């Protein structure tokens, strides 16, 4: 009887674990013979020139103007701060939970300007400046929602002290926009996925997504958009809805798939 009781308990515990796991769309498994997806996001043609954005507060520390980060094109046309991600992947490599995604308010800009993270993990917002920043995070349901579309406010947090860190668990999927209530020129975008298969492009427009279980996937590229639609009440440019492009990709065992995206 004792053994039977133990077995029943074990089965109940398993059922409980299974029940919890079923609530999530993504299962963490050991990936065997995983492949890699590498690629580049390129700007086609001559990139537009932007006027700098005026700083409306703390000019003695922040400077009078900042460069536009909506479109950063490097040598040979590579686009920085685009996001490449797999759509609808339901199992794969482990999610890193012990290291929060970092957004630093440094020299009066959010760094990085674009980041990705996994739902249920932490976002750490630091103020490295000796001036007050007030990070305001808004969540959009759709990754294609633009600046003017309403979102859900996730937090609104003043950080008057230098080196102050605020940690917040992000529990929703979608597109996060960070603004600063003190400095209207400050913007950062985050993409929150239920899996760890995403990457932000570097200065050369390159990205790499590794340890992907072999199979056929939809790879998407997101870019915040740089085409202005007007200005907000502070004179800051407003941009069109984010650009999202989808491509099919086949990942073979221990192979490397190459995918490129054009922006124009």
Interacting residues with Cu ion (CB under 5 A) = 133, 180, 182-183, 186
Number of Cβ within 10 Å of residue 136's Cβ equals: 18
Number of Cβ within 10 Å of residue 78's Cβ equals: 19
Whether the CA torsion 85, 89, 95, 101 is positive or negative: it is positive
CB nearer Cu ion, residue 182 or residue 206: 182
CB nearer Cu ion, residue 73 or residue 186: 186
3-state secondary structure 143-163: CCCCCCCCCEEEEEEEECCCC
Least distance from C-beta 126 to Cu ion, angstroms? 12
Least distance from C-beta 133 to Cu ion, angstroms? 3
Residue nearest to Cu ion (CB): 180
- Give the start-end residues of each E strand in 55-205: 65-66, 72-73, 79-80, 83-87, 91-92, 101-106, 109-111, 114-118, 122-127, 133-140, 152-159, 164-169, 174-180, 187-193, 198-200
For residue 21, what is the enclosing H or E element?
Answer: helix 2-22
Of the candidates 249, 262, 252, the one whose C-alpha atom is nearest the C-alpha of residue 87 is 249
**Rounded Cα distance, 178 and 176, in Å:** 7
CB nearer Cu ion, residue 53 or residue 180: 180
Least distance from C-beta 110 to Cu ion, angstroms? 8
CB nearer Cu ion, residue 40 or residue 182: 182
Least distance from C-beta 142 to Cu ion, angstroms? 27
Tokens representing 230 are 């007007």
CB nearer Cu ion, residue 57 or residue 241: 57
Least distance from C-beta 141 to Cu ion, angstroms? 26
Least distance from C-beta 83 to Cu ion, angstroms? 23
Q: What is the tally of helices (H) and strands (E) in the chain?
A: 2, 24
CB nearer Cu ion, residue 136 or residue 201: 136
CB 72 within 8 A of CB 81: yes
Least distance from C-beta 68 to Cu ion, angstroms? 17
CB nearer Cu ion, residue 128 or residue 204: 128
φ, ψ for residue 213, nearest 5 deg: -60, 135
């Amino acid at each position: 009887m004792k053994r039977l009781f133990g077995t029943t308990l074990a089965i109940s515990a398993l059922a409980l674990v299974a029940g919890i796991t079923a609530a999530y769309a993504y299962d963490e498994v050991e990936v065997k013979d995983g492949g890699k997806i590498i690629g580049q996001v390129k700007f086609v043609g001559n990139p537009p020139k932007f006027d700098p954005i005026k700083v409306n507060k703390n000019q003695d520390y922040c400077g009078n103007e900042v460069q536009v980060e909506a479109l950063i094109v490097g040598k040979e046309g590579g686009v920085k701060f685009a996001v490449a991600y797999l759509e609808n992947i339901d199992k794969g490599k482990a999610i890193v939970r012990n290291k929060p995604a970092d957004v630093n308010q440094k020299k009066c800009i959010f760094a990085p300007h674009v980041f990705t993270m996994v739902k249920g993990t932490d976002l750490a917002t630091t103020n490295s400046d000796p001036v007050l920043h007030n990070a305001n995070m808004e969540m959009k349901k759709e990754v294609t929602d633009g600046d003017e579309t309403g979102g859900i406010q996730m937090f609104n947090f003043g950080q008057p002290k230098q080196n102050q860190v605020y940690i917040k668990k992000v529990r929703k999927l979608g597109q996060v926009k960070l603004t600063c209530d003190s400095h209207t020129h400050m913007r950062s975008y985050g993409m929150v996925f239920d899996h760890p298969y995403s990457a932000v492009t570097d200065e050369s427009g390159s990205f790499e997504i590794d340890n992907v279980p072999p199979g056929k996937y939809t790879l998407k590229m997101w870019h915040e958009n740089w085409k202005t639609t007007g200005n907000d009440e502070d004179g800051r440019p407003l941009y069109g809805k984010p650009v999202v492009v989808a491509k099919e990709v086949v990942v073979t065992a221990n192979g490397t798939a190459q995918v490129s995206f054009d922006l124009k």
